[in-house]
Amino acid sequence: MTVDVEDYFQVSAFEKHIARNAWDNLPQRAERNTRRILDLFAQYNVKATFFTLGWLAERHPELIRRIVQEGHELACHGYEHIRVTEQTPEQFRADIIKTKTLLEDIGGRQVLGYRAASYSIGAENLWAHQVLRDAGFTYSSSVYPVKHDLYGMPEAPRFMFCPLEDQAFKEIPITTLTFANKNFPFGGGGFFRFYPYALSKWAFNRLNSKEHQSGIFYFHPWEIDPAQPRQKGISLKTQFRHYLHLDKMEARIVRLLQDFNWDTLENIFIRPGH
């Protein structure tokens, strides 16, 4: 179970509509929404990995401390949600080191994992894995092995693999299922809101029982917040993707917490049995 801790105005789809220097002037809702998620996880005894923006951690250090104190894994989502495809290796290195250091200083524990904004590690920038390893990360969960208009690397392995000669560093891709030699996304987010819950439940059951693999699920705090401010001037496709079934998401998450067993990426993949 993973949560990408970012606010509604920080999503990649709004980059051209909301300037980063305007973020501090917008209604901020990520802290409240993340606390609601933490309450749900506590209710159902679920531990999760929270991939967190450094920008938010700076402004809400008590939230970061709560994540750690309640036994969840704190991980890195970059400082301000800049896609890796928009960064040089030097810029990327500076971003991840800055954010890793910040999260570790606030949370008081080592940060092992990284997730790229909008799954923006793919075939054209696999150099990012070496930069992550050199910066002290143990794993990445940044590759989505699907074909998508905004991201994706359909030729990537569907399950955890070692992208470097250093076998100690892992890439943990987002969950897919294969039909007719094509990978279909079942890892969460907008796909989870779009599919009927029964289909997602079937997909995770199939993954567990037929392929004997653990599923990776992700969502964002803004996805349980149908009352968030609505953005104007965005395309119909972006409206559909961002706002579809926000009013149903929390109830679906609850069903998912009830129907499956969940833990952190660290506990399942990096330090099983630790």
pLDDT-derived band at 147 (thresholds 50, 70, 90) equals: confident
Q: Indicate whether this model's pTM tops 0.75.
A: yes
In order of 88, 159, 204, 206, 208, the CA distances from 212 in angstroms are 38, 11, 10, 8, 5
pLDDT greater than 70 at residue 67: yes
Q: 271 vs 228, which has greater pLDDT? A: 228
pLDDT-derived band at 28 (thresholds 50, 70, 90) equals: very high
pLDDT greater than 80 at residue 148: no
- CATH of residue 202: 3.20.20.370
In order of 63, 105, 157, 162, 195, the CA distances from 58 in angstroms are 10, 10, 35, 32, 35
pLDDT greater than 80 at residue 251: yes
pLDDT greater than 70 at residue 45: yes
pLDDT at 152: 76
pLDDT at 13: 86
pLDDT at 171: 98
Burial 28-56 (b: 16+ CB within 10 A, else e): bbbbebbbebbebbeeeebbbbbbbbbbb
Q: Which two tokens stand for residue 89?
A: 């290796």
Round to whole Å and give the CA distance between 218 and 68: 18
Percent of the chain having pLDDT more than 90? 89
pLDDT at 274: 60
Domain that holds residue 149: 2-270
Mean pLDDT in residue range 259-271 = 97
CA 228 and chain centroid, separation = 20
Mean pLDDT in residue range 48-61 = 98
**Rg of the chain taking only CA atoms, in angstroms:** 17
Lowest mean pLDDT among 96-100, 185-189, 250-254: 185-189
pLDDT at 43: 98
pLDDT greater than 80 at residue 153: yes
pLDDT greater than 80 at residue 100: yes
Q: How many domains does the chain have?
A: 1
pLDDT greater than 80 at residue 150: no
pLDDT at 90: 98
pLDDT greater than 90 at residue 55: yes
**Mean of the per-residue pLDDT values for the chain?**
95
pLDDT greater than 70 at residue 273: no
pLDDT at 151: 74
Q: 146 vs 128, which has greater pLDDT? A: 128
pLDDT-derived band at 263 (thresholds 50, 70, 90) equals: very high
- The tens digit of pLDDT for each residue in 195-240 reads 999 999 999 999 999 999 999 999 999 999 999 999 988 999 889 8
CA 87 and chain centroid, separation = 19
